[in-house]
Structure 1
Amino acid sequence: MESLAILKVFHVAATVVLLGSVAAVIYRAWRSWKGGDRLPFASTLQRPWVYAWVVMAVSLVSFPVTGWWLVHRVGWPLGQTWILTAAVLYVIGGGVWLLLINRVSRLRLATGLDEVVIAAKRRNVLIIATVAVVVLLSIIGLMVTKPV
């Protein structure tokens, strides 16, 4: 198999694994919320769900390597607008993802707090998670459409 095809397979596989991990964490949070859990996002940091976060991290680390290698092998200039936009969104998304992990960890430790405070923390985590998903889907949209 040609190295370009292998790179594409790795890049797409990392994307599928990332989307699967995101879906698993969202599903777990939704299920625990429907079950009456006060801290549904925080329960995603319990084993084995923490492995979904680790898989997300591994996928996110692999994207710059396989992405740059793909761009190099295909011969696209790195100055194309869609590549630069995706790179900027990737940096923003990485920061939002780290912020999300921080907020989810804080939410998990929020025991004994007032219900109003916990509701505000949950709302903040939901907003940050929504931003992270929108950034991820924007990057995937740029990668799929490759606008000129």
Structure 2
Amino acid sequence: MEYLITKWLHVLSSTILFGTGIGSAYYMLFTSLTRDARATAVVVRHVVIADWVFTTPTIILQPLTGFYLIHLAGYPLSLPWISWSIALYLFAGACWLPVVWMQIRMCALAATAARDGVDLPLPYWRYLRWWVALGVGAFVALLVVFYLMVAKPA
């Protein structure tokens, strides 16, 4: 039973992590592309909140449950699929940390533009390009981690 509960928590938290990430990315990108500073300010603020409420706890829960499952199953950490999963998860995290900082900056820039009734400023668009690039990297890495979690290739 302990294994099943831990596995359930691991799958649930990975689903929340991935789902929140892809959903937040979709709404933030496409709202930004409307160039409506007011709408963008609202959406980016909610994306920042979603990262703190959903993404951060699951980022912590994933390795805790993952390493515990490895322990319970008796897998050695030296298995290639485990090593790759860890490396790709760390890569995704390395992409996510600057994204969080950029989202906070973008939120402030969009709020100021909305308050002043002006267009989103150039720094917002520079951040958005980096945000997309890092988001794509993290997305691809997590897709591979999902595959490795399920397939556990030899």
TM-score, with structure 1 as normaliser: 0.83
Whether 1:124 aligns to 2:130 is yes
Letter in 2 for 1:51: I
> Could you tell me how far 1:122 is from its partner in structure 2?
1.7
Q: Distance in 2 between matches of 1:104 and 1:85?
A: 28
Q: Tell me the alpha carbon deviations over residues 103-143 of structure 1, each in whole angstroms, 9 at most, x when there is no partner.
A: 22222333579855443332111111111111111211111
Unpaired runs of at least 5, structure 1: none
> Could you tell me how far 1:62 is from its partner in structure 2?
0.5
Residue of structure 1 in register with 2:146 after alignment: 140
Whether 1:87 aligns to 2:93 is no
- Conserved 8 A contact 2:48-2:103: no
> Could you tell me how far 1:59 is from its partner in structure 2?
0.4
The count of aligned residue pairs is 146
Which range moved further: 38-47 or 86-95?
A: 38-47
Q: Distance in 2 between matches of 1:42 and 1:123?
A: 17
Compared with structure 1, are the counterparts of its residues 38 and 58 closer, same or farther at alpha carbon in structure 2 (3 Å cutoff)? same
Q: Distance in 2 between matches of 1:124 and 1:43?
A: 20
TM-score, with structure 2 as normaliser: 0.80
- Give the alignment's Cα RMSD to 1 decimal: 2.5
Compared with structure 1, are the counterparts of its residues 31 and 118 closer, same or farther at alpha carbon in structure 2 (3 Å cutoff)? closer
- Conserved 8 A contact 1:18-1:56: yes
Whether 1:15 aligns to 2:14 is yes
Residue of structure 2 in register with 1:100 after alignment: 99
Paired-residue identity, % = 26
Structure with the larger RCO, 1 or 2 (CA within 8 Å, 6+ apart):
2
Letter in 1 for 2:51: W
Whether 1:53 aligns to 2:51 is yes
> Could you tell me how far 1:38 is from its partner in structure 2?
5.2
Which range moved further: 74-83 or 21-30?
A: 21-30
Compared with structure 1, are the counterparts of its residues 31 and 77 closer, same or farther at alpha carbon in structure 2 (3 Å cutoff)? same
| The structure with more helix, counted as a fraction of residues | 2
SS of residue matched to 1:109: helix
Which range moved further: 26-35 or 57-66?
A: 26-35
Unpaired runs of at least 5, structure 2: 114-118
